[in-house]
Amino acid sequence: MSLALQGVQMSDDIGSRLKLVRQIFGLTQRELARRAGVTNGAISLIEQNRVSPSISSLKKILDGIPLSLADFFTLNFSPSDEVFFTAEELTEIAHLPEISMRLVGRRAKGRALGMLREVYQPGADTGDTMLRHEGEECGIVVSGSLTVTVGVQERVLNPGEAYYFRSDIPHRFRNQGAEPCVLISANSPPTF
Amino acid sequence: MSLALQGVQMSDDIGSRLKLVRQIFGLTQRELARRAGVTNGAISLIEQNRVSPSISSLKKILDGIPLSLADFFTLNFSPSDEVFFTAEELTEIAHLPEISMRLVGRRAKGRALGMLREVYQPGADTGDTMLRHEGEECGIVVSGSLTVTVGVQERVLNPGEAYYFRSDIPHRFRNQGAEPCVLISANSPPTF
DNA sequence: GAATATCGTTGAATATCCTAAACGCGTGGA
DNA sequence: TCCACGCGTTTAGGATATTCAACGATATTC
């Protein structure tokens, strides 16, 4: 599915990116140039990576599509085809004895979203040093209880209770209860 | 919390954006310039919106932080303060008799992620006409069973099973079982 | 309180981008 | 066939961005 365009890197190669987007929307260089109020020559040079456009002119061009700068840089050209997964098909990503983290789908670049089913055995503790990364994350406790620390805030969450925070705030998960805790969490952009 | 910087638009005002990001990471113009291999003057001019940087130089600058172009344009500067939520504090967003959809946190603009706890009563059916929107979504069945249709694919998901698809593909959820089905789902960008 | 250091800003020179107008190429119609 | 049309590309020159070096302002040190 999607367009057969493999070698398009994420951040670099603005030229290919613009060309692909333009073609997806069925526009010629001249047509896009007309809509955007720039010249076709400029678009040609940009698509060949012979120049690196200024933000202002790139924005003008994208406005002609129309597409936001954020969408332009975020766009994902290689979505996965797989839709359904059994419990066993979830990808195990943690290699700790007391914590199981299983990702819905395979590890894939360019997704908007990562969802995990996590199981914390009694006494399990992530520690608070390692967990800092970009993005935001969210979770709901399904069974058991989990002590969640986010920055200076801490709380014991019981089934049905939830959290939402920015991932760059240091955070820590601990199961101080007697039974295993099942947590379903999501993060965006995906960490794994 | 966060920095007191309200009037920062999303796509425009690259200058304020860069300045804010730089300050969040605790860098001076000169220090960032040194890391990025550009001059402090250039950063000064960009932050004042007196020039519109080329993608290449903006990328060089962001590499000095480091931060990707996609993250730079996607970054959200108005996160919510609330972190923890009880089951009752989840925001009810569906107004259907047979389906309950409760959002973690309040409806908020500019989040990366939306997470829902959904309960489908036996016989509940979303229909397949209304559900089309941007983004990607993902879910795990917690209890009961749910018949999920995505495009031409259909499957009955049992507890622990999951789905992941692009939201612009028509999709439908039905509970054809005898007991209520609890589903935890996430979508990005958030629909609510 | 002067000397020093560092911050962000500015002006002139240089490097880079964008426009305007051509070019070469393929296609389809008189 | 030959001309007209539209495509993406190229080149010269004007417009814009970036560098380099200096400047004033604000702390900090002696």
| Dihedral-angle region of residue A151 (phi above 0 means left; psi in -120 to 50 means alpha; beta otherwise) | left
CA/C1' separation A14–D8 (Å): 18
| pLDDT tens over chain A, length 192 residues | 233 333 344 346 899 888 888 876 778 899 899 999 999 999 999 999 999 999 999 999 998 888 888 878 876 554 444 555 666 666 777 667 778 887 776 655 556 778 888 899 888 888 654 445 667 788 888 899 998 877 656 788 888 888 887 776 667 888 988 899 999 988 887 666
Contacts of B53 in chain A (CB under 8 A): 54-55
Could you tell me where the DSSP H helices lie in chain B? 14-24, 29-36, 40-47, 55-63, 69-74
Confidence of residue B96 (pLDDT cuts 50, 70, 90): confident
- pLDDT tens by residue, B71-85: 788 765 544 445 556
SS3 A70: helix
Look at B112 and A188 and tell me if their CB atoms are within 8 Å.
yes
CA/C1' separation B88–C18 (Å): 57
- pLDDT tens by residue, B168-177: 666 788 898 8
Give the span between the Cα atoms of B79 and A165, in whole angstroms: 8
Confidence of residue B9 (pLDDT cuts 50, 70, 90): very low
Distances (CA, A) of A101 to A117, B19, B65: 6, 37, 30
For A21-30, B51-60, B139-148, which range has the lowest pLDDT when averaged over its residues? A21-30
Pairing between β-strand A99-103 and β-strand A91-92 as defined by DSSP bridges: antiparallel
Sorted by where each starts, the structural domains of chain A and their CATH numbers stand as 14-74 (1.10.260.40), 87-188 (2.60.120.10)
Contacts of A32 (CB under 8 A, 6+ apart): A22, A43, A61, A64, A65
- Nearest CB among B52, B136, B162 relative to A112 is that of B136
Find out whether A65 and A99 touch, Cβ atoms under 8 Å. Answer: no
Contacts of A14 (CB under 8 A, 6+ apart): A46, A49, A52, A53, A58, B55
Neighbours of B25 (CB within 10 A): 13
**Confidence at residue B47, expressed as pLDDT on a 0 to 100 scale:** 92
> What residue in B sits closest to A74 (Cα-Cα)?
B70
DSSP 8-state class, residue A167: T
